[in-house]
Every structure is written in C-alpha cells, then in structure tokens.
Structure 1
C-alpha cells in the first residue's frame, strides 16, 4: 500500500430532519382529508335525520318538541304529575304517547285476533306490552311493543268476568257491599276482585270455579267516606257539598268564564231540607244541531232528579243559571250525561279548555284507557290530581249504600288518581287527550292533599264509549 495513500473521507449522512417534516406534513394532510370526509358523511346523515323528523309528525313531537310541550303545561298540572306519578312532566307526555300508540294496536288486535289476543298494559318501567296465547299471531304487530305469552285470551277473560258477576249475585247484601270493583287485570292475565277488609268482606272466600281469579282485600282502618253517589240515610244528598260563593271551585278561578273542571250545582230538597247537589263540568262538546254541551256523570242527573233538582248553576257564580241536563244514562253499564248550556254559557264554553290557575289546558283529541298509563283529572273539590290506570276494563260496584241495597254496575276503567265527592263528571286526560269522565270514588281516607291520604281505588267512564252512543256529538278540541 502506498504510504502516501489517504483514504477518502466518509461522506456525512444525509440529513433526516427534512424526511421527518415531510412525513408529518403527509400525516396531517391525510388527517384533514379524513376529517373532511367524516364531516360530509355526518352532515348528510344529520340533514337526512332532520328531514325524516320533519316528515314524521310523531317523531317530531317526541324528539323536537316534547320538552317544549312539557314546559307549556300548566303549573298546577305539572305539580300534580310530580306528586301523583313521581315523574317529570316530559316523562308524563312521553308515557302518554306510548299509551296512545299501544291502545291503537290493542284495538287492532282485539278486532283481528280475538282468539289469541289477551290484553295490553304499560309495565312499571314504562314499556308497552301486548299479551297473546299464540306468539305467531303477535308477529304482525308493532316491533316497538313487547309481546308476552299468556294462558287466557280476551274471550276467556270475558267469560271469567261473567262468571264472577254471577257469583257476586249469590252473595249476601252485606258481602256485596264490601266489593268495590271487578277488574280485568291484563298484567296478571286474570280477573281481580277488590274487596274491603270489613267483617263482611273478610267473610268472603274464593269459590272453586274462580280459582284463577285474584282476590285482593283493601284496608279500611281510619275514617272512610262512602262512594259519592251512595248516601246513607243520615247523610246529606250524594255529591252534596254546599257551594261556596266566596271561593267557587277548588281550582283558583283566575281565568274568567266557565271551564271544564268547574263546579256546578242544583238546588235540591233532601229530608225536607234545602241543600245543594254539586258535581263537576266535563269536556266541552258540540251536538248534532250545533248546540254546545258539557259532559258530566249520569249519576249527577240521577241524584238531582231523585231530590227534585231543576236548573243548574255555576258554583263560582251561584245566582247565574247555566243550563239544564240533557241526554243522560245511568243504568248498567253506563254513567254519562250532557248539560245543554244556555246561550250565554254556550258561547263561553264552546272553546273551553280545562280549568287551571292560569291558562286553560286544551284538549287535542281522544284516547282509550290502557292499564298502567298515566292519567290526570280536574275536579271542583280536589282540583288537579294524577295517578295510573289500574284496569282498562272494570265493573265498579261501589259498596251499595242505598237504602234498598241496589246499585247499577257501571263499566269503565279503574284509576288510582285521588278524587273526592263532587269531582264526579270532571275530565280525565292522558297527556293532552280526553280519556274519561269522573265517575266513582271507592273509599277515601283523608283529603287528596293530606300526607296520609289513601283510597282503595276509583273509576271513570271512557269518553270514547260515550261518544259512540251519541251520534253527531264531537268534542271541541284544538
């Protein structure tokens, strides 16, 4: 090797920093492209979803405006929802929509599959449920509704109900007086007999041919009040709560005129003494000839006639006559009446909503009762109260307190909403839809506002059933 040879210098490595910068720029560029792509896809989906909502009024109601609707509910109704149901006003409206949809599906199933359909209800979690004896028949109904297999279809339940009614006739008068109602219990797929735990009630035993029935005894400790339509010989006329000209109805009459839930009364004679018989005005309606009427309970007219009542007066203005009873039915299984209003009050009542402390609650339609659905009522005695429908089909017996022990068996729906004598005839709503007419308080301890107030149940007459019997009559809705 040449001693003068010098190895060439090793060239320095190429700088790597520019490579890292280039890779970083490339990564950022790709990320931006991906983000733009995702944004475009997401935006398209949102636009499509909003478009679908606009096209579907039900979805729009549930998604876009449910909270807004809840906020617009009257404050006293919202307070009653929270107190009586333990849920928010928004949840009340949501459950009411679910119940309305379930009632429509149940009507279809009852008509299309009477041999397999076994009732419907809202469970304790707010889920809608339909019962079927054959699950294949259940497949054609809404997938949003849970289906359960049961042993009894609607026909069998009706047969068991008829057998229970026949058994009731075989009891002594004292035992019959202890039975408040006979319910179709869709949740348990059975007939439920509700009995007071009085000595007469405790003497009742379940017969062998009704072994599948559910017998339930209700406590009666403390002070009890008879059913509003059942006077005892030593008490004032049924529903007889003296009108108070200084205060009017239980609901604060802040808005003028006359509204559903207001009190009305007839001057009657009971045991030789002058007194008043008071009930509550129900939903506003228009008859076939354009006449404006107010729905109320048939037993209110029955008792008015019984005690020689005549013209009807508004409780908040006790010297002003508002009209007279028109069509009325108070024979098994019905309990409804209409009040034909005079010209002055007809004009005021045509667009009437339901009394609240501020703006009225206006009705948006009708619906059928569903077991487990929320329901609220307005009445002249206890104002707004809320609860649950305990049975969509009940025969309320009412602990007969008539002197002769007879009492018409009225078909309606069971309700645990607190009500008091005088609330009869008032409106029941599920959501903002009319569902029933106040009909019966079974047994009450205390007032609705009392901490320990309780009752063994109550009942209302379905408004849709009344309308079916009155061709040409329509509720005035908004």
Structure 2
C-alpha cells in the first residue's frame, strides 16, 4: 500500500510565485520588545540584498505573522464553515481567506477588527482538505509506476486549490477532477558534507560561546559529516542542548547510548574541541536531533544567539509558527545568511525513503553543510534546515541559474521549531 500523505489541515501556499497556508499554533512565548539595532550587520545586509526590505519591515512582518497565527488557531474552530487560511501578501499585508457561508459576516468582522485584509475564496479550508483526501485516495489506487513519482500533496491556500509535488512533473497524468491542479518539483534531502578527512588538531583553542549557525562535525559508525548548529535550548531539567537536524547524525540508531555519534567544533577544516554527543535523533515524520554537550563544553551553549560563523549573534527572543509570505532568514556554515519568504506550511512530503510531516518550505538556497542550521523570522526561532532542491550545487549563484533552466527555483524545506518542542515536553529555546 502506498504511504498516505494527506492529513487534515495539511496546507501549502505561495508568496510571490506560490503561496501556501499555515498549520498555526500558539508561539512558545510572547517575544520581548526588540529594536532594529538587535539585528547584526550581516543579517541586515542579507535582507536588503535578497528581499530589498528594511530591518523595520522584517521585525514588523514577524509580529504580524504571529498575530495571523493566533487568529487562525481560533478561526479554524469558530468559523470552520468559511475559514480558508491566512498569509502575508508581497506588501506584508496580513490577509485572511474566507468563503461564502452563514458565518461569513461574523468572520469578516473579526478579521477586520484585528487589522487584517479579507479575501473572498471559492472553497473553505475544510473543502480544500476534502479535495486533498480525494487526491490521496486516488493515489492509493495507482500502480507504482505512477504513485512512486509523486512525493507529496498539500493544500495551496492562496490559490485555493491542491498542489502535487513530484520527481518528474512532465510524467503526471491526473484524473479529470484534478486536471487544474498544479504540479511542482519535490525537494531532496539536504545532504551534510562528508567529514571523514577531519582529525583533531592539538593546540586549537576553544572560543567561549557557540551559536546557532556555527560549524560542527559529527563522527560515528565510520562516517563523518559537516553540519551547522541549530538553536541553543534547555531540557526539562535545565541542562543545555542544541537542536539541529536528525540527518546530521551518522549513527542515528545509537543516539543516547555510549556508542552515540560524537560532535566536534569545526575550526576551518580541522576538528576543534569535542562538544558532546547526539542524545536523540528523529528522522521519520520530523527531522531533528538533540546534541548533549559534554561537561567541558556545556557553558558554551548557554546563550540565545544565532549567527553566521565568526560574526555578531542575533538574540533569539521567542519562537514562531510559519505563516506563508513571512520574510525568513537562515544561517549556515556554507552559505551564511540568506533571506526569502515562507512559501508553504503543513507539508507532508517524501524525502528519499521517508515521509517528513508538518514541515514548511522557503524560496531559500541551502547547500551541503547548511543542514541543521537555523531559520528565523525577526528575532523569533522558526525552524531547522532539513532538505533542499539545490543542495548538490557548489554555489547558490550556480544553483539559481541551473534550477531556473529546469523551471524551478531554489527551495529549502525545514522542520518547525514548535513541532520539535511539542514532541519533547520540557524542551525550550533559550531566550536569555
């Protein structure tokens, strides 16, 4: 039997080219007031270069996106018959989709009272999910030659329809009731860089603090990988951990045991201090790993910073849920800061031989080595880098040209930080 992709409330969307909608949940904590001076120069430069927006707009959009997330959480229950999703448009306008029905006027008034713009749609979110399930039921009846090409299905909230993700978009023949459905390329796993050539070097001093986006190497089961640290956090007992990508652990089956993969700081092309081991690794459904620092390195993780290597850190003040159209920036050891927008949320998609669920996508370029790095909106933690459709290229400039010739654009797929926190009671992002 084919794996099932559809879930109620699985949604996609598009800002600029494709807009998808949210699977919103209340953020972990209300963010502390922040100023544009809290943003490091490298991040401000990336915002201007990649999005042509000011740091003020970046912070404002982060705030408005979470207001939309909270509204959507309530509207899905209170206005179920007419609610059709939320997103930020290209100008940063917070937008609520509503379809005709008995609750339309009440829902519209509630959205307008919050300062949101209302767009009328043909279908409610429930109707879109029904169409999603119909597509999934059809997929279950298909032979492998057809079904194996399809890697994911989701709801496109802004375009008020369903979207299919596939390896070969030219080879898809959909049934008549899905003739108008758009077919998009599926991303591949963001492969960590091999690191078997690395060896510890005596005399390399250990700097004080390690931040999200800094480089590390993981060694285990005869393999070695280069990746980027994710968000610094604390477990339920108040002990430091770092949240990174699960596929950065080369010995996943032994996480949390005496044979767990070891983690080292990367200093250029050499191994620095041994930082700890993988305590927990998740790959199916949600891609994340928890690094447990050693006693000697624990103090280096007791901060709330995110940065590009060797630069000033961005202070993380809370967590956020992905909302389509929201400006987002990622940090990683290979490509540093780059900024784009959230293009989809609530995705279930096949990556290799596993299905990742509840993820979101962005129009960002990420390459080998960026795996496990951080994605932020404003000063809020958003997600962990997991998969990319251009990870195999050496430079983002090359990736952009080649993907454009294939009719694609760079795309980075991520695991939402709030999904990880919900799966690990007591785990919380450091905000101090």
Q: Bin the TM-score by the shorter chain.
A: 0.7 to 0.9
Identify the residue that residue 457 of structure 1 maps to in structure 2. Answer: 411
Which of these residues, 312, 331, 338, is aligned with residue 284 of structure 2?
331
- CA shift, 1:319, in A, is 4.4
Confirm or deny: 8 A CA contact 1:393 1:414 kept in the other structure. no
Which has a greater percent of strand?
A: 2
Q: Does 1:447 align with 2:413?
A: no
Does the C-alpha gap of structure 1 residues 350 and 214 become closer, same or farther in structure 2, counting only changes over 3 Å? same
1:193 aligned counterpart, secondary structure = strand
Q: Does 1:228 align with 2:195?
A: no
Which of these residues, 95, 119, 122, is aligned with residue 88 of structure 2?
122
Confirm or deny: 8 A CA contact 2:329 2:337 kept in the other structure. yes
Larger Rg: 1
Which of these residues, 376, 394, 397, is aligned with residue 347 of structure 2?
394
Aligned length: 380
Identify the residue that residue 146 of structure 1 maps to in structure 2. Answer: 117
Q: Which runs of 5+ in 2 are unaligned?
A: 1-29, 404-408
- CA shift, 1:427, in A, is 1.0
- CA shift, 1:411, in A, is 2.6
Identify the residue that residue 311 of structure 1 maps to in structure 2. Answer: 262
Identify the residue that residue 13 of structure 1 maps to in structure 2. Answer: none
- CA shift, 1:446, in A, is 5.2
Which of these residues, 86, 98, 102, is aligned with residue 68 of structure 2?
102
CA-based RMSD of the aligned residues comes to 3.2
1:260 aligned counterpart, secondary structure = coil
2:360 aligned counterpart, secondary structure = strand
- Paired with 2:150 and 2:266, the residues of 1 have a C-alpha distance of 33
Identify the residue that residue 281 of structure 1 maps to in structure 2. Answer: 229
- Paired with 2:239 and 2:151, the residues of 1 have a C-alpha distance of 37
- CA shift, 1:118, in A, is 1.0
Confirm or deny: 8 A CA contact 1:352 1:362 kept in the other structure. yes
Q: Does 1:260 align with 2:212?
A: yes
Greater length-normalized contact order (CA 8 Å, ≥ 6 residues apart): 2
Q: Does 1:347 align with 2:299?
A: yes
Does the C-alpha gap of structure 1 residues 207 and 462 become closer, same or farther in structure 2, counting only changes over 3 Å? same
1:155 aligned counterpart, secondary structure = helix
TM-score (norm 2): 0.78
Identify the residue that residue 23 of structure 2 maps to in structure 1. Answer: none
- Map 1:81-92 → 2, pairs under 5 A: 81-92=47-58
- Paired with 1:92 and 1:168, the residues of 2 have a C-alpha distance of 40
- CA shift, 1:174, in A, is 6.2
- Paired with 2:121 and 2:245, the residues of 1 have a C-alpha distance of 36
1:388 aligned counterpart, secondary structure = strand
Which of these residues, 413, 422, 429, is aligned with residue 468 of structure 1?
422
Confirm or deny: 8 A CA contact 2:344 2:361 kept in the other structure. yes
Confirm or deny: 8 A CA contact 2:249 2:289 kept in the other structure. yes
Identify the residue that residue 408 of structure 1 maps to in structure 2. Answer: 355
Q: Does 1:182 align with 2:153?
A: yes
- Paired with 2:62 and 2:206, the residues of 1 have a C-alpha distance of 28
- Paired with 1:83 and 1:164, the residues of 2 have a C-alpha distance of 40
- Paired with 1:324 and 1:281, the residues of 2 have a C-alpha distance of 13
- CA shift, 1:188, in A, is 0.7
